[in-house]
Amino acid sequence: LGKDDPVLRAEGLEKRFGGLVATDDASIEVERGTITGLIGPNGAGKSTLFNLVSGFYEPDAGSVSVNGVDVTGQKPHAIADQGMIRTFQTPRKPEGMTVREALLVGPHNQTGESIIPLFTSPSTVEQEERRSLEQAQQMLERFEIGDLATQPATDLSGGQMKLVELARGMMAEPDLLLLDEPVAGVNPVLADKLAGFIEELNEEGITFLIIEHDMNFIMRLADPIIVLNQGSVLVEGPPEAVRSDERVIDAYLGG
Ligand code: ADP
Ligand code: MG
């Protein structure tokens, strides 16, 4: 594992849906230790890029490496195992589970299966289960939502769900966490709280790549910022430079 390798390197990613080109020769690098922002107008290809690098879509061209390891074409769980975990813009709320149990549905496999092994002895399973639930409880408490632990996951508000998603992602102890619009539909107080948690985790060594529509949120939190437009990278730089860049302003005005 090369410490100098970027945590994530995507090169020349192309994804077509029929005649529509969602990403077109998109190349990005996420340096270790950064909070990197990914912005761009609606339909720019941001979520598609997340789906490509995390293995949910197979690219028509291009390559992806995580921690210096080529993961192009690999399944989501295999890519997660390399240390990169993603959240969803619209997370599914697992039915028939408490919030705490929902945390144990591994982002590793991302298929909705429990991470608790099934083929070991019942007493071991019980022990494992208790230990995992304790870990989940601690994670929820860390994000100040410990009181939600035994509520049905389906009862969560949008804002609570975003916090639970962050907690769930952290259960996998990732090097890099991809967040897709973490504060969309979240009230300003909770958004501030989320920003604080992200900064804290970053100081502890977690790298972030964050798609966000809320400019104030992302400009305050992220450096560098990558601007995607019509499926490829338009501009990359520090927030101040990006904010005042004519090409970025034009792209947002629908140029
Ligand atoms: P963003 O997240 O930047 O708003 P998306 O990556 O969601 O943009 O979408 C980029 C383009 O690709 C859009 O035109 C969108 O309609 C299209 N697209 C995304 N996913 C699919 C899909 N699964 N099938 C067909 N078209 C898609
Ligand atoms: Mg999107």
- What per-residue confidence (pLDDT) applies to 132? 86
Classify 8-96+107-113+157-252 by CATH class: alpha beta
Whether the bond into 224 is cis, omega within 30 of 0: yes
* CA-closest residue to ligand 1 atom 18: 22
Q: Which amino acid residue places its CA nearest to atom 24 of ligand 1?
A: 17
- As given in the structure block, the two tokens for residue 233 are 């990278």
Closest CA to 178 of 15, 28, 16, 26: 28
Residue 220, token pair as written in the block: 């305050």
Weakest mean pLDDT among 2-11, 38-47, 177-186, 234-243: 2-11
pLDDT score, position 114: 55
Q: Which of 5-9, 24-28, 68-72, 116-120 has the lowest mean pLDDT?
A: 116-120
Residue 106, pLDDT score: 59
Q: Whose CA is nearest to atom 13 of ligand 1?
A: 43
CA of 174 to the centre of ligand 2 (A): 22
Pocket of ligand 1 (CB under 6 A): 17, 20, 22, 40, 42-48
Rounded to a whole number, what is the distance in angstroms from the first to the last CA of the chain?
Answer: 42
Q: Say yes or no to pLDDT of 90 above 80.
A: no
The answer on pLDDT for 110 being more than 60 is: no
Average pLDDT over the chain, rounded to an integer: 90
Please give the pLDDT value at position 126: 79
Mutate to test the pocket of ligand 1, among 13, 15, 16, 17 (most ligand atoms within 8 A of CB): 17
C-alpha distance from residue 169 to each of 65, 67, 206 (Å) = 20, 18, 11
pLDDT digits (tens, 9 = 90+) for 159-168: 888 999 999 9
Q: Kindly report, residue by residue over 121-143, the tens digit of the pLDDT.
A: 667 777 878 888 899 999 999 99
The mean per-residue pLDDT over the stretch 63-70 comes to 96
Q: 7 or 118: which carries more pLDDT confidence? A: 7
- Which residues is 85 bridged to in the sheet? 177
The predicted pLDDT at position 112 comes to 43
Which atom number of ligand 1 is nearest to the Cα of residue 89? 2
Give percent of the chain with pLDDT exceeding 90.
72
| Domain range annotation of the chain | 8-96+107-113+157-252
- Predicted structure pTM score: 0.91
One DSSP character per residue, 176-234 reads EEEEESTTTT--HHHHHHHHHHHHHHHHTT-EEEEE-S-HHHHHHH-BSEEEEETTEEE
Q: What's the rounded mean pLDDT across residues 231-250? A: 96
Q: Nearest residue CA, atom 12 of ligand 1?
A: 22
On the question of pLDDT at 109 being above 50, the answer is no
pLDDT for res 3: 65
| pLDDT, tens only, 199-221 | 999 999 999 999 998 999 999 99
**Distance from the alpha carbon of residue 45 to the mean position of ligand 1, in angstroms:** 6
Q: Is the pLDDT of residue 64 over 80?
A: yes
pLDDT for residue 115: 55
pLDDT number for residue 95: 81
pLDDT value at position 158?
Answer: 86
ipTM comes to 0.98
Which ligand 1 atom minimizes the distance to the CA of 42? 4
Residue with tokens 């990914």: 38
Give the list of residues 6+ apart from residue 110 with CB closer than 8 angstroms, or none: 76, 77, 80
Provide the 8-state DSSP code for 93.
-
DSSP collapsed to 3 states, 168-182? HHHCCCCCEEEEECC
Query: How far does residue 185's CA lie from ligand 2's centre (Å)?
Result: 14
Query: Angle 188-203/158-170 helices, nearest 10 degrees?
Result: 10
Helices (H) and strands (E) in the chain, counts: 9, 10
pLDDT of residue 108: 46
Please name the residue whose Cα sits nearest to atom 26 of ligand 1: 17
Residue 33, pLDDT score: 97
